[in-house]
Each structure stands twice: as structure tokens, then as C-alpha cells.
Amino acid sequence: MKLGSTVIKSVINLCKKVLGKTRKSQSKPPSFEQPNILSRDQHPVSRKHISHNALKVLYRLNKGGYDAYLVGGGVRDILLGLAPKDFDIATNATPEQIKALFRNCRLIGRRFRLAHIVFGREIIEVATFRGHHENSEEKNCQKTSKQSEHGMLLRDNIYGTIEEDAERRDFTINALYYSAKDFKVYDFANGVADVYAKQIRLIGDPETRYREDPVRMLRAIRFATKLDMNIHADTKAPIKSLAPLMANIPPARMFEEFLKLFMSGKAGENFQQLRDYNLFQFFFPAVEQQLNHQSHAYLADFIKLAMKNTDHRVNNDQRVTPAFLFAAMLWYPMQEHIQRLNSETQLTPQDAFFAALSEVMSEQQRSIAIPKRFQAVMKDIWILQDKLSRREGKRAFKALEHPKFRAGYDFLLLRAEIESASNQDNQQPTALQELAKWWSDFQHSNADTQQFMVKSIGQNRSGSRRTRKRRKPRTQSSGSEA
Ligand code: ATP
Ligand code: MG
């Protein structure tokens, strides 16, 4: 009997322990009511790291009688010794109250209402503390809160306290608040420890948080590569199985995320990670399909090389346009379409190009809303691939004057580089490599040499026609079909 009750007791204790553990890991984050508070001498964040304009906003809100904190990347990056990309502020003032304080304020967003305080090129984003959706009297009010059948928050405009706001943030390292009033850092989710442990960890139950906003999956990857951190096992675990939720993200938001992932100097690493987590397909379904196809083995190398170039330019403060990367991504889907149209229809090469362009673009737009101005540059880059291959008479000089010559030429170099990598056994340069070399020389030559180079093309052509058999163009990398 005695033994029996002891056994029962220990079983009950064990159950309590297990239940307690699962409950903890399933939903409730650490206590948000009692944050760790780091005083001025316990953290490196100081006003000299914060932009003048962000400080102005903090002071004005405080003077207006509101609480205001620097939050998110602004605090996190300073702790890591990095310069923040931008400064985000959280406050208990409502968007309308913020607007009343700043003449240079624009209210934006429906899903997530925010105030932008505009100082020339710098925009300080000010968000009102978000509250919980459950238990809220406003839960059923469509104007403030709305959730899809998949659990996605379509609207998140319920306001709350700083503690609730911290709980609604994505990762522990982003729930850090700095006050310009008492110079303290308020750490609600043990984020400081995670910053130093280099750990990306979602606040709350990962599955619920991803369902609320699937973009958090992309953000986990982006912060991991940007900050050279690891994604915590619990945060990582559900990503692959929840990846299909990405299909519900509007194309305009996907464009924003594309820019953050691929135009910030870490495109190569992000590409790899997105593919590993089955997330890349939601950006470029046609490319994903080709990547999974044996006959397109060179494609990943082409994309990686384009990304390496972009990363190099970003990291050296050179100008970049997303159009170049989009053109590289969709180059082979374009070639495939053109070839199909050539074999199935009687269209002229030019008509086939434009028909393929319209098909590839409209398909791509369903995933990412590429603004028209970038679509125009992509088209120019592709058309230039054909123009650069026709150099006789005045054509080379005309191509040189094309406003997008530089992008088209860089793209040609990229194609030639990939071809040379796959042509390593052969000592002879390919036609594309010769073409790229010709353009490299041509643009840096004086007028006389340029005239001579153009004349020599015709001669070489007629000579080569007699002596050499024309090589059949390689299906994948022949590129002058535009
Ligand atoms: P960076 O600006 O360097 O990309 P960040 O952390 O500042 O990083 P932002 O996109 O500027 O990221 O967002 C500011 C803050 O807003 C984040 O730190 C986070 O606290 C919160 N946040 C942004 N997006 C989400 C989201 N999808 N879910 C929950 N919280 C978010
Ligand atoms: Mg930010």
C-alpha cells in the first residue's frame, strides 16, 4: 500500500513535470511582466549610436507625455557592435496622437497601421504598442483585428501595453527596448542572452507564430545569415512543414522580402537557406522547377554567380538594381519558353521573344509583384543580349549608347563566365566568351580601333564561314535568341 502510493505520487509528479514542460515549450514565453532591466552601465547602447532624427522622435513623444522606446534592430544591432540599418520606435501613443505631434508624419498600412516620420531620406517608423487578440473586447471588430482560416493575421491593429507589445514581436532578440528617458534597456524575452549566444528564437509557440505570419520564416533565415546566428531547434523545426503557408503572402509583400533577402549583401547564403527550407519556390516557382530538373544542372551555378556579383557590389557600396537579379533568375525560364515557341509555332524570333516575355512575366507576377520600372530594365537587359551579338556597321556603336548598355554587358559577362566554367576541358574559348572579350576591348578602345574592330567582324565571319563548320548552339546557354 505504502509502496503503491509512493509510486502513484511519483507518477503524478512526473506527469506534472512533463505537462509543465510541454506547456512551456508550446505556448507561454518567459514572464513578460518582469523584464530584465539593464541600467546604463550594463549595456553598450548610447545616444551616440542612434540617429539624430530617431532621438528627436523619442524626445518629442516623451515631451508629449507618451512612453517611447527604440526597439528591434536598432537595439539588437548596437548590442552586436553593428550599425543599425534603420531605427524603429514603439510608443503608447496611437497613430492619430503621433500624427498630431509631427508635421512630417504619414500614416501607412492597413494590416499593420504605422506612422512614418519623414526626415528627407531617413524615415523613422513609429508603431503603437500591439496588444493580444485573445481576450480582447475588440476581438470581433474587423476594423482592428482579422485572422484568416489558416491562422494568419490579416489585420493587427489592437493596441496594448509594452509587455503585450514585446510578446507580439517575432524573435527574442527583437523584443529589446531602449528608453532615451532613463537610458535603460528593457529585455522582455531574454533577448540579450540570445543576442550573445547568437540564437534566433521565436517568442511563443513557433507553429502559431508562423501561422499568424508566415513571413517570420523568411525573417528567421534573414537574421541568421545577416547576423551570423543559428536558428534555435524549436524555431527551425516547423519551417519545412509550414512552408506551404507562404503561398498566402501577397506578391507585393514578397517583393519587399525579396529586396531584404537578396539586395543586402547576403543573397548567396539566403538563396541556399531558402532552398534548404523549401521556401525558394514561393519566390520563383519556374526557377525552382528548373533547379529540380537534371538537365538544368548549370542553372544553380548561374544564379549563385549572379548573386555573388550582387553581394560583392552591395558590400562595396556600388550601385545595384534588383532588375539585374530578376533578369538572371528568369533568363533560363525565358530561354525554355522561347525554344518551345520556336518548335511549336511559326512565330518570328522577335515575336517568340515577346510572347515568351509576356508569359514568363505574368506567371512570375503571381509570386512577386515586380514594379514596372524594373520589368522594363529586365527586358532591356535581355534584348541587349541579342543586340550585343550583332555588331556590324553602326550596330555596335548604337548598342554602346544604349542607356542600359552597362547592365546588358555585365549580364553577357555573367553568361560567358558560366559557359567558361562548363567548358573547362576545352582549350578553345566559346563564341560567347569571344563575344564578351570583344565587348570588353571595344568599349575601352579609341575611335580608330573601334572602327577597325567592327570591320574585322565581317572579315572574320566570311573567312570562318568558308573554313569552319557552324557549331550547333547549346540548348541551355545559347543566349542570343532575344
Ligand atoms: P532590420 O531593420 O535590420 O531588418 P529589424 O529587427 O529592425 O531588422 P524590421 O523589419 O525593421 O526588423 O522590424 C522592426 C521590429 O518590428 C522587429 O525587430 C520586430 O520586433 C518587429 N517585427 C517586424 N516584423 C515582424 C513580424 N512579421 N512579426 C512580429 N514582429 C515583427
Ligand atoms: Mg528595422
Q: Which atom of ligand 1 is nearest to the CA of 77?
A: 3
Q: Do 108 and 123 contact (CB within 8 A), yes or no?
A: no
Atom 16 (ligand 1): residue with closest C-alpha? 72
Q: Do 249 and 297 contact (CB within 8 A), yes or no?
A: no
Q: Which atom of ligand 1 is nearest to the CA of 72?
A: 18
DSSP classification of residue 109: -
* 88 is annotated as an active-site residue: yes
Q: Return all residues near 334 (Cβ < 8 A) that are at least 6 apart.
A: 356, 357, 360, 382
In percent, how much of the chain has pLDDT > 90?
Answer: 68
Sorted by where each begins, the domain ranges of the chain are 5-249, 286-456
Q: Which atom of ligand 1 is nearest to the CA of 216?
A: 27
Cell triple for residue 252? 507585393
* 165 is annotated as an active-site residue: no
User: Buried (b) or exposed (e) across 217-239, using 16+ Cβ within 10 A?
Assistant: bbbbbbbbbbbebebbeebbebb
Atom 15 (ligand 1): residue with closest C-alpha? 72
Pick left, alpha or beta for residue 31 (phi over 0 → left; psi -120 to 50 → alpha; otherwise beta): beta
Cell triple for residue 221? 533565415
Taking the CA of 212 as reference, the closest ligand is 1
Strands 176-179, 68-71: pairing kind = antiparallel
Q: At 196, give phi and psi (nearest 5°).
A: -75, -25
Instruction: Calculate the CA 11 to chain-centre distance.
Output: 49
For the chain, what is the mean pLDDT? 86
Cell triple for residue 244? 506551404
Domain 286-456 = CATH 1.10.3090.10: yes
Q: Do 264 and 225 contact (CB within 8 A), yes or no?
A: no
pLDDT tens digits along 137-186: 554 455 566 777 777 877 777 899 999 999 999 999 999 999 999 999 99
Pick left, alpha or beta for residue 422 (phi over 0 → left; psi -120 to 50 → alpha; otherwise beta): alpha
Which of 192, 263, 206, 111 minimizes the C-alpha distance to 220?
206
Cell triple for residue 228? 551570423
pLDDT of amino acid 427: 67
Taking the CA of 216 as reference, the closest ligand is 1
Ligand 1: centre distance to CA 174 (Å): 7
E strands along 34-82, which residues? 36-38, 68-71
Q: For ligand 1, which residues put their CB under 6 angstroms from it?
A: 72-73, 85-86, 88, 169-170, 174, 213, 215-216
Ligand 2: centre distance to CA 174 (Å): 9
pLDDT tens digits along 14-59: 433 433 343 334 344 446 888 999 999 999 999 999 999 999 999 9
Amino acid at 426: N
E strands along 243-387, which residues? none
CA atoms within a 13 Å half-sphere pointing along the CA-CB vector of 20:
6
Which of 274, 329, 321 minimizes the C-alpha distance to 300?
329
Instruction: Calculate the CA 136 to chain-centre distance.
Output: 33
- pTM comes to 0.85
Ligand 2: centre distance to CA 197 (Å): 21
Ligand 1: centre distance to CA 365 (Å): 25
* 228 is annotated as an active-site residue: no
Q: Return all residues near 236 (Cβ < 8 A) that are at least 6 apart.
A: 220
Rounded distance between C-alpha atoms, residue 104 and residue 408, angstroms? 40
pLDDT tens digits along 292-313: 987 777 889 999 999 999 999 9
Whether 286-456 and 5-249 are alike in CATH topology: the answer is no
CATH number for 5-249 (one of 3.40.50.300, 3.30.460.10, 2.40.160.10, 3.40.50.2300): it is 3.30.460.10
Q: What value does the mean pLDDT take over residues 231-248?
A: 98
Taking the CA of 214 as reference, the closest ligand is 1
Q: Return all residues near 226 (Cβ < 8 A) that are at least 6 apart.
A: 264, 266
Catalytic-labelled residue, pool 77, 156, 165, 170: 170
Q: Which atom of ligand 1 is nearest to the CA of 209?
A: 28
CA atoms within a 13 Å half-sphere pointing along the CA-CB vector of 274:
25
Atom 18 (ligand 1): residue with closest C-alpha? 72
In percent, how much of the chain has pLDDT > 70?
Answer: 84
pLDDT tens digits along 343-388: 998 899 899 999 999 999 999 999 999 999 999 999 999 999 999 9
